[in-house]
Amino acid sequence: MNQTGKEKNPNLKKISGIKMKSIGVLMTCPMHKYLEQQLETHFNLFKLWHCNSSITEFLKTHQGNTIRAVVGDTNIGADAELIASFPNLEIVASYSVGLDKIDLRKCEEKGIRVANTPDVLTDDVADLAIGLILGVLRRICASDEYVRIGKWKDADFGLATKFSGKSVGIVGLGRIGTAIAKRAEAFGCSISYFSRSQKPFANYKFYSNIIDLATSCQILIVACALTEETRHIINREVIDALGPKGILINIGRGAHVDETELVSALLEGRLGGAGLDVYENEPEVPEELLGLGNVVLQPHVGSDTVETSDAMADLVISNLKAHFSNKPLLTPVI
């Protein structure tokens, strides 16, 4: 027992007495090259994609008990099957802020620590949200193409829509939602939000009903975490409330939006436009979206800048080093 009366972790002496380089870390899929290099430098790195991203294939050539840490991301995290396959797993370090690809309940049951990379990616994702708004309203992609294919020589491009002064509704006023709100305020936009509860720090109008939020705003931005409660939170009713002049921006997760309903609304003119960085079945994108001029599409690159990707990688490494040195995690989830 220690001074607080709590039982000590029986692995602590073992952890402190071994070299970091011998610790088996499984990387679930290709991520940032710098992260991969750092993991190879500091740990004994295994790459799941070298076994066709199959746990079964991996276990044919590797001992499951050698893996003590898993590094996942928004593509492949740590589901129940993966967790059960590695009896000595101690920590899951996510190269993302989202946790929807990690079975948190199973981790909690087994005493497995979980860490993610919040804060460091907030600015980039918020920047992209504003970029998507401008891209849709000012038709930046369409006008760029107009110049490139020589049409400007024949006629002016035509009018777009102003962003400044629009009413902006945000679904989820967490770190990223708040950062988006501050940026939109700089454009003179009025801000309102929907969240599980009213935020005491926010001076923005709060809606306890997402339909009411969608009805009241011209631009609706999805910035909440993906949970069972928020899956398809943007459904037909919400889209219709936003209306034929409304713009939907999604920098959260693809499953926040009922994609079938979104496509229908855009094709039928029930929604004015959309800016999307995420999709339900990535990297698959509905074919119908590709030919629409009122839609701006990005390949899930919200946090993909060199600066932020390096900072996220450093945070993953720091969390792993902290855990295996018996120090507090820098960004603990569990």
> Is-contact 143 165, C-beta < 8 A?
no
Is 232 a residue of the active site? Answer: no
Which one of 139, 253, 256, 323 is the catalytic residue?
253
Strands (E), 56-202: 67-72, 91-94, 113-115, 167-171, 190-194
Q: What is the CA radius of gyration of the chain?
A: 23
Alpha-carbon gap, residue 289 to 304, rounded angstroms: 23
Q: What is the DSSP string of 24-36?
A: EEEE-S---HHHH
Chain centroid to Cα 131, Å, comes to: 17
DSSP secondary structure code for residue 260 in this structure: H
Is 113 annotated in the active site?
A: no
Could you say which of 81, 109, 237, 282 is catalytic? 282
Asked if residue 40 lies in contact with residue 32, where contact means CB atoms within 8 angstroms, the answer is: no
Torsion of CA 82, 26, 309, 257, to 10 degrees: -10
Element at 109 (helix H, strand E): helix 104-110
Strands 205-207 and 219-222: unpaired
CA distance 270 to 60: 52
Active-site positions read 253, 282, 300
